[in-house]
Each structure stands twice: as structure tokens, then as C-alpha cells.
């Protein structure tokens, strides 16, 4: 299971802080009734492209000694299964879909001059497909603004809530992915 930690810090500090196993150790298992703190269980690595970072980060894993299941502590600045950080994705989508910039200009606005055209298209399509569900889910939290379509409505709601805060809410409470889960990875329940 993946849980989010609200690090709200730059990637570089995340990397330093995550080295300490105690620092964010969950004090109980999110997957069973056990009330004991979880045990450190190594890391897995993933790539991350943020506004001023492009490299590999480690993600802490913890183990529950009662149910033997692992829990990973994802930094909330990143989306599961996506290379780009939420800030990069937000800048790109707002520039392209709200401000109407070209794909190339939107990539530049997100600090990703060299982003392949297909990758941008792909991210946009995923967001467009996800926009109605996002608008609906976020309406529990912020009044939907008047907007010509679901895409601009969802973007405006994300802008007013803050993308990372919205991601925390969607992921932790609803197990929902900002850009939609790839079909093979959708969590059950
Ligand atoms: Zn457990």
C-alpha cells in the first residue's frame, strides 16, 4: 500500500530527511488492526523530474510485523507511476489547457523544453479524460466555478485548492489519481 506524507519541502531536503528511518515511521499499520509502529524495510527507487530536480529519489518502505504487508511513504510532491512532479504537470496543463499556449510553449513554461511532443499529448489526454471525475470529487471541497467545460473547471478548482493539497485529498481519501490510474494499476476498493 502507498501512503502519502505531506513533506512540503524541496526534493533535496526530502532526500536528506528520508535517510532517517525514525523520522516519518508510521506509528501504526494502515492495513490491519495492529497498533504497533512499523519496521523500516528499505527503499525503492524512482525517477522524478521536478522544477529544479531531475534524477532518482528513494521512497521509504515499512513493514508491519503483524500482517507482513509493506507500506511505502510517497512524497506528496510526486504522483504514483509518473516521472514528472505535480508542480511540473500543473504548470504544463495550466499553460496548455487554461492559457491556450502551444504544446512547446507549455513545456517551456513547465521548465521542460526538451519534453517529447507525445509525452505532452499523452498527459493532456489523460487529464482531459479525468476532468469530469476530478470536478465532481473536488466539489466536496470547493464550490465549482462557472467554466465552459470540465477541463477548465477542474483546472480552476485545482488552482484554487493548490495542486498538491488536492492530490493529497484525492489520493488519501478517495484513492484517486490526478491523471487517472493506468487500467492495470487501478487499486481495488
Ligand atoms: Zn498490518
The greatest distance separating any two alpha carbons of the chain, rounded to the nearest whole angstrom, comes to 53
Q: How far apart are CA 136 and CA 15, in angstroms?
A: 35
Please give the grid coordinates belonging to residue 49.
523530474
Give the three-state DSSP class for 101.
Answer: coil
The pair phi, psi for residue 36, each rounded to 5°, is -90, 150
Name the residues around ion ligand 1, CB cutoff 5 A. 29, 31-32, 34, 64, 66-67
| pLDDT computed for residue 187 by the predictor | 60
What's the CA-to-centroid distance between 54 and ligand 1, angstroms? 34
Between the CA of 70 and the centroid of ligand 1 the distance, in Å, is 8
The reported pLDDT for the residue numbered 68 is 97
* 83-120 pLDDT tens trace: 999 999 999 999 999 999 999 999 999 999 988 888 88
How close is the Cα of 37 to the center of ligand 1, in Å?
10
Q: Is residue 184 very low, low, confident or very high in pLDDT (cuts 50, 70, 90)? A: low
Question: How far, in Å, is the centroid of ligand 1 from the Cα of 31?
Answer: 5
Confidence of residue 186 (pLDDT cuts 50, 70, 90): low
What pLDDT score does 105 carry?
95
CA 19 to ligand 1 centroid distance, Å: 23
Q: How far is the CA of 42 from the centre of ligand 1 (A)?
A: 17
Average pLDDT over residues 174-186: 82
pLDDT for res 52: 87
Per-residue pLDDT, averaged over 171-182, amounts to 89
19-32 pLDDT per residue, tens: 999 988 999 999 99
**pLDDT above 90 covers what percent of the chain?**
69
Q: How far is ligand 1, taken at its centre, from the CA of residue 67, in Å?
A: 4
Q: State the pLDDT at residue 189.
A: 42
Closest CA to 153 of 112, 116, 108, 98: 98
Mean pLDDT value across the chain: 91
Expressed in angstroms and rounded, the spacing between residue 133 Cα and the centre of ligand 1 is 31
On whether the CB atoms of residues 92 and 107 are closer than 8 A, the answer is: yes
Identify the pLDDT of residue 112.
Answer: 93
User: 143-175 pLDDT, tens per residue?
Assistant: 999 999 999 999 999 999 999 999 999 998 899
Amino acid at each position: 500500500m502507498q501512503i502519502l506524507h505531506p513533506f512540503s519541502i524541496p526534493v533535496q531536503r526530502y532526500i536528506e530527511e528520508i535517510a532517517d528511518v525514525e523520522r516519518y515511521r508510521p506509528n501504526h499499520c494502515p492495513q490491519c488492526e495492529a497498533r504497533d509502529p512499523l519496521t523500516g524495510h528499505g527503499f525503492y527507487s524512482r525517477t522524478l523530474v521536478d522544477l529544479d530536480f531531475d534524477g532518482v529519489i528513494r521512497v521509504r518502505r515499512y513493514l508491519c510485523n503483524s500482517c507482513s504487508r509493506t507500506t511505502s511513504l510517497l512524497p506528496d510532491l510526486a504522483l504514483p507511476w509518473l516521472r514528472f512532479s505535480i508542480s511540473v504537470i500543473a504548470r504544463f496543463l495550466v499553460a496548455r489547457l487554461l492559457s491556450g499556449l502551444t504544446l512547446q510553449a507549455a513545456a517551456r513554461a513547465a521548465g521542460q523544453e526538451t519534453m517529447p511532443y507525445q509525452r505532452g499529448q499523452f498527459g493532456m489526454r489523460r487529464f482531459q479524460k479525468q476532468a469530469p471525475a476530478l470536478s465532481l470529487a473536488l466539489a466536496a471541497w470547493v464550490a465549482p466555478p462557472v467554466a465552459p467545460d470540465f477541463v477548465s473547471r477542474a483546472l480552476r478548482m485545482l488552482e484554487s485548492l493548490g495542486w498538491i493539497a488536492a492530490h493529497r485529498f484525492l489520493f488519501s481519501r478517495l484513492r484517486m489519481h490526478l491523471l487517472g490510474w493506468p487500467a492495470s494499476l487501478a487499486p481495488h476498493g
